[in-house]
Structure 1
């Protein structure tokens, strides 16, 4: 009896690969969704892809159709993956505020539009792209690319497995019956 491969160590690399891919398109992009499939299974099923895939990568991201406009959580709640998909990744551009700005957001928990307005108008806001990835077993990984300031050095990358717990949970739910 063979056991399923353990993709845990490969998940952060897959999240970075998706971030690199999306970054080539620049900023101001809508959310994007990717399926993560085992590279070995993909090559077995589609051998003609051998020249275009990294054979050392355990997981290969495959871009999915555009997500519908509107609430990302609602869009994700409608997704169900076939058994061949080992995990998934979503990218979303967000606004990051410094910790001192949290006080201004108090009381907006029930009004996301008001919170978004305050964040968009905050003088210390930074634009960022959040990449969240999960495996079927619930393992998560996140990459945050903070857009460079107009007078600053390049983009800043932050990797932390639980950077976006709510988004990771929404992705985990796409693997539930």
Structure 2
């Protein structure tokens, strides 16, 4: 439940900045630990002991990570990431284009990489999507997907198995 809430809040936070964004990474930390170890950061985020005692704060707090190495493929960037022990999970928000299953048979076999991306980008059935995928060290995963054609908080899809490959890649950032 805590991860679901965190991922949906992260997706809504990113959505407030519109479309055509770079990938954005968030560390997930227990809110109670943040109150103890980073009181100034907690205060800046509006998290107080009083709010925690009344149940008015989330279990997990997301902290956006700056300085992502976006000049390399996503899998390489994730392969180099290391999280400190205080980070219990992470979430990544990326935008992409998807085709419906009915269009997959039309994909030319000889296309890959940038050429495939261009082909998909020109396909009349493509959907622009924003995917927020979060994982916890224990293997728990959650995703939220927003279609540009249905750009509303009420239309965001969520579930644990919506983006399995990206969830696996994020879990890999916690392996030692």
Indicate the SS of the match to 1:148.
helix
Q: Where do 1:46-85 residues align within 5 Å?
A: 46-48=38-40, 49-50=42-43, 52-53=46-47, 55=52, 56-69=57-70, 70-85=72-87
| Secondary structure in structure 1 of the residue aligned to 2:87 | coil
Query: Which residue of structure 2 lines up, in the alignment, with residue 87 of structure 1?
Result: 89
Partner of 1:170: 169
Shift of 1:46: 2.6
Match of 2:122 in 1: 121
Shift of 1:117: 1.6
State the Cα distance separating 1:123 from its structure 2 match: 0.8
Instruction: Report the CA distance between 1:90 and its aligned residue.
Output: 0.3
Question: Normalising by structure 2, what TM-score?
Answer: 0.86
Q: Any gaps of 5 or more consecutive residues in structure 2? A: none
Q: Cα deviation per residue 1:14-46 (whole Å; 9 max; x = unaligned)?
A: 100110110111111000100000000001123
After superposing on structure 2, the runs of 4+ consecutive aligned residues of structure 1 that deviate more than 2 Å are 46-51, 53-56, 105-108, 112-115, 153-156
Larger CA deviation: 119-128 vs 27-36: 119-128
- Check the 8 A contact 1:132/1:140 in 2, yes or no: yes
Q: Using structure 1 for the length normalisation, give the TM-score.
A: 0.86
Cα distance per residue 1:85-134 (max 9 Å; x no partner):
010000100112122111122625x7222321221010121211001100
Partner of 1:5: none
The question of whether the paired residues in 2 share the 8 Å contact of 1:15 and 1:89 is answered with yes
Q: Could you say what the CA RMSD is over the residues aligned between the two structures, in angstroms?
A: 1.9
Count, aligned residues: 165
**1:40 maps onto 2:42 in alignment:** no
